[in-house]
Amino acid sequence: MPATIRGADLAVVSRESVGEDVPVGFLSQSLLTVEVVSPSNTAADMDLKVTQYLAAGTRELWLVYPDTRRVYVYRNGERDPKVFQQNEHFTSTLGCDCEVAKFFQN
């Protein structure tokens, strides 16, 4: 089966996980991956992306839904995502406090 290459909207990696000799544009085992869901994305597309990112070693994955102003937070090793509304906040595995409303400010 051919390899699948994903291009996240945002990815945070550590120097330890990347190493020194990584080709430009290649990331693996991100600490955090963020995908902004567009109207053209189907539920099946997003489910596949979640499965692939977590299987590749992503520790935490955020699906950001601008239309509903919600953030779905998936953590590796946890079965279900946590869903946060615009008026809520959460603490990322990176240790930062995230106010969902700020994701959608102009």
Average pLDDT on 89-103 reads 93
Average pLDDT on 19-45 reads 78
The residues, any chain, with a CB within 8 Å of residue 43's CB and separated by 6 or more, are none
Residue with the two structure tokens 């990347």: 18
Residues 27, 29, 34, 38, CA torsion sign: positive
Distances from the Cα of 86 to the Cαs of 3, 12, 43, 68, 72, in angstroms? 36, 23, 21, 8, 11
Question: Can you identify the CATH homologous superfamily of domain 10-103?
Answer: tt1808, chain A (3.90.1570.10)
pLDDT at res. 37: 95
The pTM is what? Answer: 0.82
pLDDT tens digits, one per residue of 44-95:
999 999 998 898 888 999 999 999 999 999 999 898 999 999 999 999 988 9
